[in-house]
Amino acid sequence: MELHASLKAEELFFIGPVGITNSMVMAWMAIALLVVVGWLGGRAPALVPSGIQNFLEFVLEFLYNTVISTAGPQGRRIFPLFATIFLFILTANYMALLPGVGTISVPNPKGHGAVAKPHSLVAVAEAAEAVGSRPSSQGSPEPAEHHELERLPLFRAANADLNMTLGMGLIAFLFIHASGFMAHGTKGYLQELSTPLFLTPVKLMIEGFVPISLAMRLFGNVFGGEMLMAVMNWPIVAVPFMAMELFFGFIQAIIFGILTLIFTSLATYIPPGHGGHGHGDADHGDIHGGGH
Amino acid sequence: MGLFEQLGLDPYKLAIQSFNFLVLLFLLNRLAYKPVLRMFDERASRIKSDLDDAKRMREEGERDRQTYRDQLNRARDEARAVLDEAANVASRIREQAMFDAESTALAIIARARQDIARERDAALKELRGEVATIAIMAATRVVKRSLNTEDARRLIDEALSDTELATKAD
């Protein structure tokens, strides 16, 4: 059996021109889970924590200490984004390992086509074979995923969709540079980016690739993991790969968050003796205010 | 655009997913991060305050203990002084009592001696009176019986003997 995987998330239904994909469904489920847990843990915090507040505090304290130890006191401003990135990626990655993800299917809203076994990755390959297309590895001019399947997987890992990872990457990118502008002032930050002058294009290119690299790294790892799990879908055999996916899910979450944290710290870094602009002072004030 | 198409990149979906993430960021920040971080701050401040209170109370306790120790030492000194004073007073009283008793005893003895002397003088005086009476009686007998020398002497001896007997009988 040859494996043809769909890089795109499958569209389950449409709202106007916008297709709602199975990765969006998973993202919403992860978001709902996080919001409910966050709400339950933070709705009436007690001085002596217990139950879900205890769990939430344990997680947030770990993240908070990570941020503060990396970025110093100004990390408090970065903390919400860092924590949300970490928690969302981790939750979405782990939810993707649950039974039913990729195996529960729904009818294809676009019409009838090949009959496929319901797995997001393998199904596409087998369905493509069923409709007689030639595998892409054999030089098929038409990618396998262009064929319409009769049924589509209802769930797909949220981070196995480049729109999701690139969206987070762009938000991180905007946050990094907004923080830089706030810390140095517009002129100061532009000077930072253009010093030395002859390296400015390189620096801009590097900065421009930050969201792309963040997005591609996460997407590639999660998508690769999905493929691995689809291929190694055997009893017992899948266990070590599942454990590996648990580990990589955590690592990917921490990498995305830590890189955002480090880039933000670098963008807002003011060397000792350089007073910085008024916004820098405002930042310092925000640290104690805890605002985002 | 072919690459974007193959990767599934779509502006609408990108916008929706970004919006999803921003909503999550907003909600978590509002519902979880702020309350929990506020609780961290409150707890840290409470712990700091409790530690400060504990330190202050320890210092106060130390001060109080020192005060009590000083008071105790003062009380001990005062008690010792009172005891010394009491001992002195008792000693003085004892000496005074002994002196008084001695004086009283001497006075009693002196009075007794005076009484004895007075009694002796009275007894002697009474004895002289008796002796004189006896002598007169003896003289009277001598005169009545024309006593010779030997009789006179015998009568005098008898009289004296009677006097001695009378004295002894008393």
A184–chain B Cβ distance below 8 A for any pair? no
A56–chain B Cβ distance below 8 A for any pair? yes
Residue B1's pLDDT band (cuts 50, 70, 90) = low
State the Cα–Cα distance between residues A131 and A111, nearest whole angstrom: 14
A218–chain B Cβ distance below 8 A for any pair? no
* Chain B residues within 8 A of A166 when measuring between CB atoms: 9, 14
B21 burial level (CB within 10 Å; 0-12, 13-18, 19+): buried
Interface mutation target, options A4, A84, A124, chain B, most CBs of B under 10 Å: A84
Q: How far is A235 from chain B (nearest CA, A)?
A: 31
Instruction: Provide the mean pLDDT of chain A.
Output: 81
Instruction: Give mean pLDDT, residues A224-247.
Output: 88
Instruction: Provide the mean pLDDT of chain B.
Output: 88
Q: Are B18 and A171 an interchain contact pair (Cβ–Cβ within 8 Å)? A: yes
A231–chain B Cβ distance below 8 A for any pair? no
A47–chain B Cβ distance below 8 A for any pair? yes
Instruction: Give mean pLDDT, residues B117-128.
Output: 92
- Sort strands A11-15 and A105-107 into parallel, antiparallel or unpaired: unpaired
Residue B169's pLDDT band (cuts 50, 70, 90) = low
Instruction: Give mean pLDDT, residues B150-164.
Output: 76
CB nearest to A162's CB, from B7, B18, B35:
B7
Instruction: Give mean pLDDT, residues A264-270.
Output: 90
| The length of chain A, given as a count of residues | 292
Q: Are B17 and A17 an interchain contact pair (Cβ–Cβ within 8 Å)? A: no
Is the per-residue pLDDT at B166 higher than 80?
no
Q: How far is B51 from chain A (nearest CA, A)?
A: 16
Is the per-residue pLDDT at B137 higher than 50?
yes
Q: Write down the pLDDT at residue A288.
A: 33
A77–chain B Cβ distance below 8 A for any pair? no
* Chain A residues within 8 A of B10 when measuring between CB atoms: 19, 163
* Chain B residues within 8 A of A76 when measuring between CB atoms: 37
* Greatest C-alpha distance within chain A: 70
Tokens of residue B159, six digits: 């009289």
* Chain B residues within 8 A of A79 when measuring between CB atoms: 33, 37
Kindly indicate whether the ipTM for this predicted assembly is greater than 0.90, answering yes or no.
no
Residue A277's pLDDT band (cuts 50, 70, 90) = low
Instruction: Give mean pLDDT, residues A222-246.
Output: 88
pLDDT digit string, tens, across residues B6-21 = 888 889 999 999 999 9
B44–chain A Cβ distance below 8 A for any pair? no
State the Cα–Cα distance between residues A18 and B15, nearest whole angstrom: 11
Q: Write down the pLDDT at residue A142.
A: 41
The chain A residue lying nearest B9, using CA atoms, is A163
Q: How far is A240 from chain B (nearest CA, A)?
A: 29
Q: Write down the pLDDT at residue A275.
A: 60
Is the per-residue pLDDT at A281 higher than 80?
no
Is the per-residue pLDDT at A214 higher than 90?
yes
